[in-house]
């Protein structure tokens, strides 16, 4: 998918398509860097790439945390709506 084709649908429920795409790309980047580590034998380059992997993993965890927050907020809102529907019913 080209970046110009990536558009927010603004209709997310329980999750965010844009963040899921970011998560997918970050994970692919980590796998790419890990593949470089398998081939690289220069200590300074390996250390540099290991730092890149560490930073990307932190970004991945941050994205996952935000997705979890979105999911929890959506469940809370669904619960509120359900309680109003039970009152009316």
Span 1-28, pLDDT tens digits: 555 677 776 666 667 889 999 999 999 9
pTM for the full predicted model: 0.74
Task: Identify whether the C-beta of residue 23 lies closer than 8 Å to the C-beta of residue 66.
Answer: no
- Identify whether the C-beta of residue 23 lies closer than 8 Å to the C-beta of residue 60: yes
Q: Are 16 and 73 in contact (CB under 8 A)?
A: no
Retrieve residue 61's tokens: 């965890």
Does residue 54 carry a pLDDT above 70?
Answer: yes
User: Confidence class of residue 81 from pLDDT cuts 50, 70 and 90?
Assistant: low
Residue 83 lies in a domain: yes
Domains in the chain: how many in total? 1
In a domain, 82, yes or no: yes
Contact between 70 and 12 under an 8 Å Cβ cutoff? The reply is yes
The dihedrals phi and psi of 8, each to the nearest 5 degrees, come to -75, 135
For residue 76, what are the domain limits? 16-88
So what's the pLDDT on residue 52? 97
Would you say residue 75 lies in a domain? yes
| Domain assignment of residue 11, yes or no | no
Q: Is the pLDDT of residue 89 over 60?
A: no
């Amino acid at each position: 998918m080209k970046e110009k084709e990536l558009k927010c649908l603004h209709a997310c429920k329980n999750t965010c398509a844009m963040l899921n795409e970011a998560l997918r790309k970050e994970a692919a980047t980590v796998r790419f860097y890990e593949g470089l580590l398998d081939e690289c034998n220069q200590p300074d380059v390996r250390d540099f790439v290991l730092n890149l992997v560490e930073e990307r993993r932190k970004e991945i965890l941050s994205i996952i945390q935000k997705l979890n927050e979105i999911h929890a907020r959506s469940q809370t809102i669904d619960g509120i709506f359900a309680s109003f529907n039970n009152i009316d019913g």
